[in-house]
Amino acid sequence: MTTPNRQYKDSLFTDYFNDKERIIEAYNAIAGTDFPPTANVEFKTLENILYRSQINDIAFTIEGKFIVLIEYQSTVNANMPIRLLMYINEIFKSIVPQKPLYGSKALQIPTPEFVVFYNGKREHPDKKILKLSDSYMVPTAAPSLELVVPVYNINKGHNTELLEQCKALSDYTMFVSLVNDRVENGDALEDAIDKAIHYCLENSIMHMYLERGSAEVKRMLITEWNDDEYREVMREEGREEGLEQGREEGLEEGREEGLEQGREEGLEQGREEGAVRAKQEVARRMKDEGAEISFIAKVTGLSEAEIVEI
């Protein structure tokens, strides 16, 4: 089995679209613009601003605009507008000179735009708009500060018109869908990736990209998959254990105060126990896939002795 490279920071999404022609084609399809392939595009490296271990965003400038594209393969975070506000604040602090801020002449800054692509397994509408003002404690009809984030579902069967306008995005969606479908049908992850790569090469899907770096594609997907599985198992285990124990302790108290305390204690203990069980489950799955014990220990935080006994 290919051992995931934990130092490889790009995701498949960022690596594939870190290409001027592809990113221009994708942005034209989203925004309805007609920038030519020769348009001036400059990619920006913005690691860790959104506080994620895996980098699934692309930031670039194009003709006076600052665009951020983000891919989500799990539930879309409702706090994305707040996080993007922090994101763009850091960007402007890095590109806007400080001294002229206190002068009388108005500065010019790139126009920020944000787009989220949803590529997860849960139901999601074709398009959903997230707004910063939705998080305000006191709603107002005309907020002084607003930040709008459109979320596009790019799974198979969604936003077909958008995908038809952009072969690069359509090809990417098709490849990810092939891998997911084969895994759901019982294939091991690496086998699913190999079959998807073979199919795409035979059918001119992501052809040039896959010909140049299929081994790197495998590493990126395996790393992303293990990270996503680990987070999902931890969330589900912690939620179920916490709710169950919280109900039991709350019912034993029999009073509102005891019920509330039971929920809180149950949730807290459930999270801790669920986290341990989640790590063990991820370790077991990775062992089944043939991952090395030392690598599993780095991913899960379990000791090598604990992993051997699983």
Question: Residue 231: which of 81, 55, 54, 2 has the closest Cα?
Answer: 54
Write out pLDDT tens, residues 141-161: 999 999 999 999 999 889 999
pLDDT of 280: 81
Question: Residue 114: which of 158, 163, 58 has the closest Cα?
Answer: 58
Question: Residue 185: pLDDT above 70?
Answer: yes
pLDDT of 220: 79
Q: Structure pTM?
A: 0.68
| Confidence label for 45 from pLDDT (cuts 50, 70 and 90) | low
pLDDT of 72: 79
**Residue 44, in any domain of the structure:** yes
Mean pLDDT of the chain: 81
% pLDDT > 90, the chain: 42
Question: Residue 35: pLDDT above 90?
Answer: yes
pLDDT of 227: 58
| Confidence label for 5 from pLDDT (cuts 50, 70 and 90) | very low
DSSP label of 7: T
Contact 104/117 with Cβ under 8 angstroms? no
**Residue 285, in any domain of the structure:** no
Question: Residue 6: which of 230, 172, 171 has the closest Cα?
Answer: 230
Range of the domain at 17: 12-229
The structural domain count of the chain equals 1
What would the mean pLDDT of 210-236 be, rounded to a whole number?
70
| Confidence label for 94 from pLDDT (cuts 50, 70 and 90) | confident
- Around 111, how many Cα atoms within 13 Å sit in the side-chain half-sphere? 5
**Residue 250, in any domain of the structure:** no
Looking at residue 167, its amino acid is K
| Confidence label for 6 from pLDDT (cuts 50, 70 and 90) | very low
**Residue 275, in any domain of the structure:** no
| Confidence label for 219 from pLDDT (cuts 50, 70 and 90) | confident
**Residue 301, in any domain of the structure:** no
pLDDT of 136: 96
**Residue 302, in any domain of the structure:** no
**Residue 126, in any domain of the structure:** yes
Question: Residue 233: which of 302, 169, 173, 284 has the closest Cα?
Answer: 284
**Residue 299, in any domain of the structure:** no
pLDDT of 245: 61
pLDDT of 269: 65
What is the torsional sign of CA 88, 89, 95, 100? positive
Phi-psi region of 296 (alpha: psi -120 to 50; beta: other; left: phi over 0): alpha
Question: Residue 111: pLDDT above 70?
Answer: yes
pLDDT of 117: 94
CA 295 from chain centre, in angstroms, equals 22
Question: Residue 52: pLDDT above 50?
Answer: no
